[in-house]
Amino acid sequence: MLAEFRQQLHNLPRGLRTRFAPSPTGYLHLGHAASAVFVWGIAKAIEADVVLRIEDHDRGRVRPEYEKAILEDLTWLGLIQTPDFFRQSDHWDRYQSKMEEARARGLIYACTCSRREIQERTGEESRDELRYDGHCRFLGRAESQAGLRLQLDDRAFAFHDLWAGPQVQKPHEQCGDLLIRDRDGNWTYNFAVSVDDAAEGVDLIIRGQDLLTATGRQLQLRSLFGITQPIQVIHHPLIWESPERKLSKRDGSTSLRHLREQGQSPAMILGQAAFSVGLLDRPQPLAAHELKGLFA
Ligand code: GLU
Ligand code: ZN
């Protein structure tokens, strides 16, 4: 598996651009370290650039001290030298102008539905992925205090994930018309990330497997906005807190801050992260400059 993955990496062109895109809604934890191992390790191994993007689109959950901590932690791990990064809230105009472009094509409508209302209508159990049923599409709702949805047609998107293999996704069946701005005026994840990846010239997406289902809709957004640059995608394994639950920001004991206070070195953390996702046979210290060896 790993050998085949390395071979596929090796076949990629040099000079691609990837990104590390944490949300400042909590401290970085071991799961982020695993993602960072993939991002920086692969980038070094195939001579790709890394863009750091602070994904602070969800203004209600973002806190400045988390952003500061993320930059400190990445520096401490030896992954970045200068805090050179993009921040989503610095270019809100990007999202606005893409939304206007879609609106001019008649693809945007206001939606006042709450999650609960959608659930009640569609009978879906509460779960992460809720399919929107198109309820407001022809109702001509007023936009103030409403969310904005983008009409998706029912095309299927096929792509090859370098880790997870061939995929086919039908975004409209998965999620229905996409909410691109929520009722509080925040741009939403899939929209913001697609606009940013295009604007920042990202053509290699490396992130956790929990986001694999989002890729079809991001490809659909790219296609809708006429972005022709092809992208390579890698959705890497996650670290699991328990067999049912992936690590999350709630698991304070794996926050990098905590591990550091416990006396762990950057190399111990990177090595532990690499081991936890199957890149090493046993935990052993691995410094930032050694990560490329995992993928070469
Ligand atoms: N901001 C997202 C997160 O922290 C990652 C988004 C992405 O890599 O596409 O989970
Ligand atoms: Zn609605």
Distances (CA, A) of 61 to 26, 65, 70, 185: 9, 12, 15, 13
Question: Partners of 86 in the beta sheet?
Answer: 53
Residue 164 CB-density burial (10 A; 0-12 exposed, 13-18 middle, 19+ buried): middle
In this prediction, residues 266-288 reach a mean pLDDT of 97
Rg over alpha carbons for the chain, rounded to the nearest Å, is: 20
Q: Is pTM beyond 0.85 here?
A: yes
CB within 8 A of 293, min separation 6: which ones? 41
Q: 215 CB less than 6 Å from ligand 1?
A: no
Confidence of residue 252 (pLDDT cuts 50, 70, 90): low
Q: Which amino acid, residue 235?
A: H
Provide, for the chain, the percentages of residues in helix, strand and coil under a 3-state DSSP scheme, each rounded to the nearest 5: 40, 20, 40
Q: pLDDT for 134-160, tens place per residue?
A: 999 999 999 999 999 999 999 999 999
Write the residue with the smallest CA distance to atom 5 of ligand 1. Answer: 21
Signed CA dihedral, 250, 256, 262, 264: sign only:
positive
CA gap 181, 111 in Å, rounded: 10
Ligand 2 midpoint to CA 181 (Å): 12
Q: pLDDT for 66-120, tens place per residue?
A: 999 999 999 999 999 988 999 999 999 999 999 999 999 999 999 999 999 999 9
Confidence of residue 205 (pLDDT cuts 50, 70, 90): very high
Element (H, E) at 100: helix 92-104
Structure-token pair, residue 59: 């203004």
Ligand 1: residue of 207, 219, 231, 232 to mutate (most ligand atoms within 8 A of CB) is: 207
Q: 44 CB less than 6 Å from ligand 1?
A: no
Ligand 2 midpoint to CA 111 (Å): 4
Q: pLDDT for 234-248, tens place per residue?
A: 999 999 777 677 777
CA gap 99, 163 in Å, rounded: 32
CA gap 191, 220 in Å, rounded: 10
Predicted local confidence at residue 127, as pLDDT: 65
Closest atom of ligand 1 to CA, residue 32: 4
